[in-house]
Structure 1
């Protein structure tokens, strides 16, 4: 093991902070926050509450497993905090043309997003943050959400957000991902009456997520430097055909896929988060 990695291991957080409580499932609370999200699709804080109310029991064990592995320790040494890396667009733009980094910068700048902004949304909950591996692992899950948009090809339209959450469920089977994806899809169908294949697109996204490795368990700096097409192929991320078909039909119906639920539905407020 490299000397710099050995030195960094001493800075690793504890596996589980002694003050960290065990979360329990509260489905009625999740439903309440989903209804609040329907009132304001930009209210990302509601998504964090839903994830806490539907916490996945095995997430804690998986965080510790990965964090204490040789791979996890090496990644923690080089990437202790992803927003610092993801928001350094000057550094990312220095990577090759056609790389994931350039596509990520294009996406974030066009949408007016920052990784730090998503962190701030989560902090609105006012929950304590614990210096342990569960916090670090959960943060990586959260901080790679917008990177998943770039890798998968799903936009920040209403359906695109549901599909990214379904893709994430394929990699991280938290019921919260699936609940928001399908409940959001149902709301989209109800509000628009569209014949577009909403649920087929969501199901396809879930299969695509399951087919590849967990993105947040990878070295993100190395991934950003890869050519985008090569990264998609390596990660076994398929073409979102049903999603594109849904957009085609929506436009045939005279609807703008990026403005379907401007007043009433969940869309680009649906960022991924884990109750870390």
Structure 2
């Protein structure tokens, strides 16, 4: 695979000071999603060119890159989201949006709280947006719950295995290490490692045509992409319970106190 030039006018240096400041704030409040994007921009240096090169080297990637569909715009269209048949990936994504209250444009807005390269008119920036905008689709495909610390930590480990980028590893590793003290055991951390292993075993999801994939039966897609059942994750959910599975989430703690 050919190596593409770096993003124009970038130093190629990782900003560890920003990364450590952001991870401290994220570990104090896992709902502070802005810190995730700060970490990504500080540490994922050179990641977008690598993934863009990988995309255009695939059979369908040239057409996908040429079309440059902005997935957040499609995912934010109620008519588009309503169009999927029961049992499809798209129907599962629709249920995800309805049950969590999350939205594709909400994720975009959070990402824009920190200035970065994602808004530029450049193929690498488009690739970065594509990976950002499919994060919740990956939650649906993997089964990792989005509104808990455990599910997010497992998915960022899965994502690191899939698309690289040291920021993913930094977040997942920090959450797993803190869990050793908070939960008093290794089950949370082992589930995160399982997420990484499953990301390595799965086919490269970022090369998929998502507009086609969303119409496919979800179980067929999981088999085709070799997305494995997260056994340790399910066990950690059961044994740790909601409080420990979401130990980073201030919002979850507030909900429990109000119940």
Note whether the superposition's TM-score is higher than 0.5. yes
TM-score (norm 1): 0.80
- Alignment deviations for residues 61-106 of structure 1 (CA, whole Å, 9 cap, x no partner): 4424534866333114555200122122432332221000010010
Any conservation in 2 of the 1:155–1:161 contact (CA below 8 Å)?
Answer: yes
Deviates more, 1:35-44 or 1:101-110: 35-44
Residue matched to 2:156: 165
User: 1:229, CA displacement in angstroms?
Assistant: 0.5
- Alignment deviations for residues 129-150 of structure 1 (CA, whole Å, 9 cap, x no partner): 3211100111111111111100
1:245 aligns with 2:235: yes
1:100 aligns with 2:89: yes
Residue matched to 1:227: 217
Once superposed, what is the RMSD of the aligned Cα atoms? 2.5
| 5+ long unaligned stretches in structure 2 | 253-259
| 5+ long unaligned stretches in structure 1 | 1-14, 266-276
1:115 aligns with 2:104: yes
Distance (whole Å) between structure 2 residues aligned to residue 122 and residue 150 of structure 1: 20
Residue matched to 2:130: 140
Q: Which of the two has greater helix per residue?
A: 2
Of the two structures, which has the highest relative contact order with CA contacts closer than 8 Å and spacing of 6 or more? 1
Name the CA shift for 1:249/1:67 in 2 (closer, same or farther; >3 Å).
Answer: same
Distance (whole Å) between structure 1 residues aligned to residue 107 and residue 199 of structure 2: 22
- Alignment deviations for residues 149-201 of structure 1 (CA, whole Å, 9 cap, x no partner): 000001021110000001101111222111100101222332232x3611211
Residue matched to 1:261: 248
Distance (whole Å) between structure 2 residues aligned to residue 232 and residue 65 of structure 1: 21
TM-score (norm 2): 0.85
Any conservation in 1 of the 2:84–2:91 contact (CA below 8 Å)?
Answer: yes
Any conservation in 2 of the 1:50–1:176 contact (CA below 8 Å)?
Answer: yes
